[in-house]
Amino acid sequence: MRILIVYFSGTGNTARIAQLLQKEALAQDTVCEIMPMEQITLGQALPDFHAWDLIGIGFPVHAMDAPQIVYDFLKLLPKGRIAYFLYKTAGSPMLKGGSSYRIRESLSNLGWRLRHEQLYVMPPNAFGTANPRKIAKRYLQCQQLVKESISEILSGIKRLLPDPSLSSLCYQFAALEKHGAKQSSRRWTVNQNCNQCGLCVAQCPAANIHMEEGKLIFEDKCLLCLRCWWICPQRAISHSFLKPFFLKEPYCLPEL
Ligand SMILES: Cc1cc2nc3c(=O)[nH]c(=O)nc-3n(C[C@H](O)[C@H](O)[C@H](O)COP(=O)(O)O)c2cc1C
Ligand code: SF4
Ligand code: SF4
């Protein structure tokens, strides 16, 4: 079995689950590679999806749905009888991660076949709190779930997440969030602590930030993934509207 996992991760949770899945698959003598989704959506790479036995697609839940980048990625996928599994990370067990119906439907229209689906409740990167106890507890639970998921995937056990009955409501909420993300893109602010290191420019998965005459400009393609805020070594980035919903500080996950 050869597995390729393509994931999007704003602040590291979904990336970490990809790494844990890869580690567990390799431990079970399975070839497994992982790839950040933005490499594909930014046109830096395009894997031959037909060359793999199974494709994994991972993303963080944003407003009970997936971030826009996932829908942009789906548009680039080929038709064919390709087997895939979905996984998502959420910051809260409430509403069980919302709905993946539209993603499943798009892939089904291409002929792709869903084999497995899993939700990992990680510490929240926003809209909640993340103390060291919560981080350690949820991480441990996710490590265990990764083991179970890889066993199920490799032994061909099909597991699908039930779609919530309020799935249409999820999408109305998600549409608002996607609209809000773009609208609020220019409300990112940068204070005098910025030393123009360029990390946020280089790391933005939507190529939404650029530097003009030493000043950072945010365009209107923001995914609200929070990566720029999370990784800025100077803690210079803030958001004039959403700041009250952010964590006090980014956290580090336990060592891999
Ligand atoms: C804009 C935004 C919206 C979010 N919406 C939800 C949500 O509806 N439900 C939920 O459980 N978590 C939500 N979260 C939390 C993330 O899904 C969660 O922290 C996830 O693990 C982050 O993954 P990442 O580190 O790979 O980006 C949201 C986070 C952001 C930034
Ligand atoms: S990462 Fe922070 S310090 Fe570096 S350019 Fe961006 S805002 Fe400035
Ligand atoms: S501007 Fe920041 S929050 Fe928006 S997509 Fe880029 S890194 Fe993510």
Question: pLDDT value at position 165?
Answer: 67
Residues having CB within 6 Å of any atom of ligand 1: 9-14, 60-64, 89-92, 98, 122, 124-127, 224-226
Cα distances (angstroms) measured from residue 238 to each of 5, 51, 154, 196: 32, 43, 43, 15
Residue 4, H or E segment = strand 2-7
Tell me the chain's radius of gyration from C-alpha atoms.
18
Taking the C-alpha atoms of residue 177 and residue 11, their distance in angstroms, rounded to an integer, is: 18
Taking the C-alpha atoms of residue 97 and residue 84, their distance in angstroms, rounded to an integer, is: 19
What number does the ligand 1 atom closest to the CA of 59 have? 26
pLDDT at 182 over 70: yes
Q: Where in the chain is the domain with CATH 3.40.50.360?
A: 2-154
pLDDT at 185 over 90: no
pLDDT band at 197 (very low <50, low <70, confident <90, very high): very high
Tokens at 45, concatenated? 């790479």
Taking the C-alpha atoms of residue 148 and residue 144, their distance in angstroms, rounded to an integer, is: 6
Ligand 3 pocket member 77 (CB < 6 A): no
What number does the ligand 3 atom closest to the CA of 229 have? 2
Taking the C-alpha atoms of residue 236 and residue 191, their distance in angstroms, rounded to an integer, is: 5
pLDDT at 174 over 80: no
Question: pLDDT value at position 113?
Answer: 98
Q: Which of 196, 217, 226, when mutated, tests ligand 2's pocket best, judged by the most ligand atoms within 8 Å of its CB?
A: 196
pLDDT band at 177 (very low <50, low <70, confident <90, very high): confident
pLDDT digits (tens, 9 = 90+) for 74-122: 999 999 999 999 999 999 988 787 889 899 999 999 999 999 999 999 9
Ligand 3 pocket member 224 (CB < 6 A): yes
3-state secondary structure of 108: helix
Percentage of residues of the chain with pLDDT beyond 90: 81
Taking the C-alpha atoms of residue 233 and residue 198, their distance in angstroms, rounded to an integer, is: 11
pLDDT digits (tens, 9 = 90+) for 9-64: 999 999 999 999 999 999 999 999 999 999 999 999 999 999 999 999 999 999 88
Mean pLDDT, residues 146-156: 97
Atom 22 of ligand 1: nearest residue by CA position: 60
pLDDT: which is higher, 120 or 163: 120
- Multiple choice CATH, 185-245, 3.40.50.300, 3.30.70.20, 3.40.50.2020, 2.60.40.10: 3.30.70.20
Q: Where in the chain is the domain with CATH 3.30.70.20?
A: 185-245
Tokens at 8, concatenated? 């999007």
Mean pLDDT (the chain, rounded) = 94
Taking the C-alpha atoms of residue 89 and residue 225, their distance in angstroms, rounded to an integer, is: 13
Question: pLDDT value at position 99?
Answer: 82
Strand spans (E) along 46-124: 54-60, 83-90, 113-121
Taking the C-alpha atoms of residue 164 and residue 144, their distance in angstroms, rounded to an integer, is: 24
Atom 6 of ligand 2: nearest residue by CA position: 200
Q: Among candidates 186, 225, 189, 185, which has minimal Cα distance to 205?
A: 225
Taking the C-alpha atoms of residue 30 and residue 55, their distance in angstroms, rounded to an integer, is: 13
**What CATH class has 2-154?**
alpha beta
DSSP line for 161-204? PPPPTTHHHHHHHHHHHHHHHHHGGGGEEE-TT-----HHHHH-
Atom 27 of ligand 1: nearest residue by CA position: 10
